[in-house]
Structure 1
Amino acid sequence: MIQSDVDLQPYNTMTIAARAKYFCAATSLDDLREALKFVREHKLPILPLGGGSNIVLTGDFPGLALHLGILGLEFEPLDDGVRIRAAAGENWHQLVMHSVDQGYGGLENLALIPGNIGAAPIQNIGAYGVELKDSFEQLTAMDIATGELSTFSAEDCQFGYRDSVFKGRAKDRFLICEVVLKLSGNWQPRVAYPALQHYFSEHGQSQDQLTPTKVANAVIDIRNSKLPNPVEIPNTGSFFKNPVVDASLYRTLKAAHPELVAYEAGEQWKLAAGWLIDQAGWRGFSRGGVGVHDRQALVLVNPGHRCGSEVVNLAREIASDVQRKFGVTLEPEPRFYP
């Protein structure tokens, strides 16, 4: 059912007050098709909503805010692992914990990432050395222009670092309805990431003692120690991507800042955006109800429930300062609407 003039504050984890001209909560493919028909007839822009953890509302939305609440989760045992079919409205973290509780490994490093499954492929979510693409098999998406369903393979999705075809040539053309993952039965823990190595060393656990559940619990503990819960402190999680730079710039920065936090990425280097922001002096900064978290500089917070333009302005100031001090460009992870 299409509603008019709906408050979107409950649908974004930044708790920004903004209103949508129209709103629809879709819980089935038929709901989606009807909503898209309405959009085409009235020539409206669409704001897709899931968990609301990767958007910043910069003002009222003049079109249809479409909440994708389609549910459905199926585990299909295979000879060499398990296939998982998950509808777009399923919660990502709950999927991860459900899989490890059943003894299936492969997603545990991605525990506690906020949001729903439908958004996961768009930016190829990743954490602690693992990305969605590592277990991705295919997805089904609905064409906004026609209402028809299409299947996308991993190759079709063109996954990159926090990137996919849905942020490129297929941007704003499809709504993801279902994601299919495949986890191998030959599980090996992936704990080379420094934070995980430190955690298991502190807790006296060797690699041969680990299980998917133990790794997931470690990730949860680490994330809880430095990332605020959006329910308690409004935020979108990591606000900036970790910038990838060439080896020349990395060597220059490393010489000037020996303590620089960076990770090798093929012939390039991935820098820790949080470290750059922290070193630029922004951690703990607060102004008029928006600010930077005091334990993790990568997270912008909105405890004052301020408008989106204030959040965006702060993000631009931070990016400009980091560019001036380090010569590194920061890109935001969340998308700004409208």
Structure 2
Amino acid sequence: MTTNLPLSAHASLQKLNTFGIAAQARWLLILTENAQLQTLRQDAALSALPRLILGGGSNLVLSDQLDALVIHVCLTGRKLLAEDDNFFYVQAAAGENWHAFVQWTLAHGWGGLENLSLIPGTVGAAPIQNIGAYGAEMQDYFHSLQAFDFETGNIVTLDKADCQFAYRDSVFKHAYRDRMLILKVSFALPRQWQPKLDYADLAARLQQQGIVPTPQAVSTAVIAIRQSKLPDPAEIGNAGSFFKNPVVSAAQRAVLLQTYPRLVSYAQPSGGFKLAAGWLIEQCGWKGRSLGRAGVYEKQALVLVNRGGATGAEVRTLAQAVQADVLQKFGVQLDIEPVFF
């Protein structure tokens, strides 16, 4: 076993996941510099273990006991790389807090990421999930990233096409899930900024307050909306939005509207319609309900919460029960956003 790495055996992960699950890892590595990854790769015993790359732990549901190596990414640093007539190019290390990074860009006058304010987690996790909110997605401003390839031991640069971004999805959830560890992410933020106000609540809040949209004003509005609807993980354990908003065909939406005229849906460029998963869950009577020590949040049915002492298994059981009821009532399959490990 490599002794010159900051390793902890049988380490508690309870404070490292926003659901607050009292999980324990066989080994925990605090990653603070790239060189540690080469050292790790040379250790046959550690390299043979299942590997979990952990950022802010905000999109994760853990088992009680993880017979695995957990790598907690704590790489830091952020800077302006370059600028041209069209963009400001900024970069942040994977361990940087996402919201703090967004606020840093806004403080420098670089708009673009404001709709993604207050999303929990780290910069390195953002491309994995292709995080999105209030009409914007990370891929809209993504430029490139650097990642460590455990298979070759090389640091590689990947552009947008390489990452295969989709709705809450990327290549890092599939082919590169256990192979790549993201080190740094770069963004291209537009000089000619235009607000994204497609989300009705966001546009209404700015209009009601008579505020001329600026990047900072949009960010402030987004923060207020999120705080009014979503629980603070510091107060009640959760992983944010637990289910993806499902996309159905126009024909299926038309059939559903005949029975449910108040169905909440949004037209998509593909011709399909995105349904509001929270609305579907609420119609099934799950809002505010609990199953064991896990429950559905009272203010937003899209969010599952830890009522106190919930295990990963209890969260999974609740999620499956919600999925089953939505499928039975609407004929719509809800997909889960967080990763179970």
Which residue among 213, 218, 237 is the counterpart of 2:216? Answer: 213
Q: Does 1:133 align with 2:139?
A: yes
Q: Which moved more, 1:11-20 or 1:286-295?
A: 286-295
1:47-89 per-position Cα deviation (integer Å, ceiling 9, x unaligned)? 1111000110123111101101000100235132311111000
For residue 194 of structure 2, give the secondary structure of its aligned residue in structure 1.
coil
Alignment of 1:79-94 (within 5 A): 79=84, 80-94=86-100
Name the counterpart of 1:18. 23
Q: Does 1:283 align with 2:287?
A: yes
CA offset at residue 101 of structure 1? 1.5
CA offset at residue 239 of structure 1? 0.5
Q: Which moved more, 1:257-266 or 1:8-17?
A: 257-266
Name the counterpart of 2:180. 174
1:225-250 per-position Cα deviation (integer Å, ceiling 9, x unaligned)? 00000001110000011111111111
Name the counterpart of 2:319. 315
CA offset at residue 41 of structure 1? 5.4
CA distance 1:37–1:81, shift in 2 (3 Å):
same
For residue 122 of structure 1, give the secondary structure of its aligned residue in structure 2.
helix
Name the counterpart of 2:328. 324
* Conserved 8 A contact 1:125-1:131: yes
Q: Tell me the distance in 2 between the aligned counterparts of 1:245 and 1:154.
A: 26
Q: Does 1:3 align with 2:8?
A: yes
TM-score normalized with structure 1 length: 0.96
For residue 157 of structure 2, give the secondary structure of its aligned residue in structure 1.
strand
* Conserved 8 A contact 2:61-2:340: yes
1:87-111 per-position Cα deviation (integer Å, ceiling 9, x unaligned)? 0000000111111122111100000
Name the counterpart of 2:195. 189
Q: Does 1:335 align with 2:331?
A: no
Q: Which moved more, 1:34-43 or 1:273-282?
A: 34-43
Q: Tell me the distance in 2 between the aligned counterparts of 1:170 and 1:295.
A: 36
Q: Which amino acid aligns with 2:283?
A: Q
CA offset at residue 261 of structure 1? 1.2
1:143-162 per-position Cα deviation (integer Å, ceiling 9, x unaligned)? 12232111111011111111
Q: Tell me the distance in 2 between the aligned counterparts of 1:40 and 1:72.
A: 31
Q: Does 1:62 align with 2:67?
A: yes
* Conserved 8 A contact 2:112-2:193: yes
CA distance 1:184–1:280, shift in 2 (3 Å):
same
CA distance 1:42–1:201, shift in 2 (3 Å):
closer
Could you list the runs of 5+ residues in structure 2 that have no partner in the other structure? 1-5
Name the counterpart of 2:209. 203
Name the counterpart of 1:257. 260
Q: Tell me the distance in 2 between the aligned counterparts of 1:191 and 1:37.
A: 50
Name the counterpart of 1:162. 168
CA offset at residue 269 of structure 1? 1.0
Q: Tell me the distance in 2 between the aligned counterparts of 1:112 and 1:122.
A: 17
* Conserved 8 A contact 2:14-2:20: yes
* Conserved 8 A contact 1:39-1:64: no
Q: Does 1:297 align with 2:337?
A: no
Identity of aligned residues (%): 48
* Conserved 8 A contact 1:263-1:269: yes
Q: Tell me the distance in 1 between the aligned counterparts of 2:162 and 2:87.
A: 23
Name the counterpart of 2:76. 71
TM-score normalized with structure 2 length: 0.95
CA distance 1:187–1:2, shift in 2 (3 Å):
same
Q: Which moved more, 1:192-201 or 1:322-331?
A: 192-201
1:114-139 per-position Cα deviation (integer Å, ceiling 9, x unaligned)? 00011100111000110011000101
Q: Which amino acid aligns with 1:139?
A: L
For residue 237 of structure 1, give the secondary structure of its aligned residue in structure 2.
strand
Q: Which amino acid aligns with 1:178?
A: K
CA distance 1:42–1:214, shift in 2 (3 Å):
closer
Q: Tell me the distance in 1 between the aligned counterparts of 2:200 and 2:340.
A: 32
Q: Which moved more, 1:22-31 or 1:256-265?
A: 256-265
CA distance 1:39–1:16, shift in 2 (3 Å):
farther
For residue 219 of structure 1, give the secondary structure of its aligned residue in structure 2.
helix
Name the counterpart of 2:310. 306
CA offset at residue 200 of structure 1? 1.8
Could you list the runs of 5+ residues in structure 1 that have no partner in the other structure? none
1:295-336 per-position Cα deviation (integer Å, ceiling 9, x unaligned)? 000000003121110011000000010000001101110000
Q: Which moved more, 1:166-175 or 1:17-26?
A: 166-175
Q: Tell me the distance in 1 between the aligned counterparts of 2:44 and 2:95.
A: 21
- Tell me how many residue pairs correspond in the alignment: 334
Name the counterpart of 2:251. 248
For residue 43 of structure 2, give the secondary structure of its aligned residue in structure 1.
helix
For residue 288 of structure 2, give the secondary structure of its aligned residue in structure 1.
coil
